[in-house]
Amino acid sequence: MRIHSRLLIFPALLLVLSLALPNTAQASHTDDDVRMTPVVRAVQASAAAVVNISSARMVERRTGFEGNPLGSFLNDLYGLDQKRQFRAENLGSGVIIDGAKGLVLTNAHVIAGSSDITVRLQDGREIKAELVGSDSDFDLAVLKVETAQPLPQIRMADSSDILIGETVIAIGNPFGFSHTVTTGVVSALNRSIKTPDGVFTDFIQTDAAINPGNSGGPLLNLKGELIGVNTAIKSDAQGIGFAIPINKAKRVMNELLSTGQVSPVWLGIFGQSVDQRVAAYYGLAQPQGLLVTEVSPGSPAAKAGIKPGDLIQELGGVKVADKNHYLDILKNHTRGEALSVKLKRGSQTLTIEAEPAPLTEDIVLALTRERWGLIPSQARQTQGVLLEAVRPGSPAQRLELAPGDLVVQIGNIRVKGMAEFLSAAMAYRLQNNILLGVVRGGRLYYARLVL
């Protein structure tokens, strides 16, 4: 009897509890409800366009007694020293930017290397997604999901209108907790972050809590509009998060949608890092900046009026440390973007605007021909790039390179084919001393190309 009585009482108790507890999902609130703050209204207007993203890729790991002094013996004894594939999963966030087309904006690192991407909507639906395009330099990616009905989409703001101190809202999937809302303020604008992967510039800094899993989610203003894409946290500090401004994200997104990739850009400047002698000449407290030694005719720099002898101190509001830093900063900008250049010309300090242009394959090949003297063949090789010709009087000819030589390394980049050759030429275009790995007659030689 005791068991039966419990079975009868328990459903009744559930019924009482369900009646006593308010149904928050269905509760309606009037405009004069004091709880309907601007933050609540912004979240209600935009949360449905925020998605959780799970991506998976196969990774290879070695099994067995690794790290054990008797590891080799035990692996042989039990046959455990093998490589096995494991499924690695990554969680992140995203935001629907075009509900009719099913387009989702997120971070590139959220889906990097993944072969299986799933988008989960606020209403619980899970939809497979395909990658439209991504770019690691900007840490942005665009996904596409197929849906019969239009999806809710976010409204975009103008991030050039952001106010330091204004309230912002982050929505994401931190640690797997779906649609988590945090608030804060805009702490600063145009922040730069240096990572092992390079320099990232033009971030919105916020104290809204941004944790692992928030990457790719939206940063909103009080109108519920998208002002940035949450992308990074500073692990050694509390209350510091970063987001990519939406104006910058839109430029990248448009290129990804049209071509699947973002074209690298250039200004047409060649130069050298500042040494103590140059710093003293310009009255600098320490060596810093890029001294312009040459400007390519017809380039954006030439059109903007930059001249040899100018000392570039800032690019896009970021102080230039040296020529490598200059290239790292330039990677954060796109074509069609007005870029401020602060420079010293003699005793004058000037700030001018230049519009970066795409650094196309044709331009890169022309640069390697004119500056280095290397004229590569388009013929495919199993490894390396074959030289079709060497320009007379060039650094390559002085090095006694010749047609038929196979270039297999430029700097620290292994040249497997034309793609790596072009990437290396872009990366080392400001260098005056470049290590080359060349195969001739079946033998590998290393030589330095000095400009």
Q: Which of 55, 93, 109, 333 is catalytic?
A: 109
Give dist(CA 20, CA 346) in Å, integer.
79
To the query of whether residue 187 is one of the catalytic residues in this protein, the response is no
Residue with tokens 């093998």: 82
To the query of whether residue 333 is one of the catalytic residues in this protein, the response is no
Q: Which of 215, 273, 296, 299 is catalytic?
A: 215
To the query of whether residue 109 is one of the catalytic residues in this protein, the response is yes
Q: Which of 135, 139, 310, 405 is catalytic?
A: 139
Residue 111 token pair: 């889906």
Active site residue ranges: 109, 139, 215
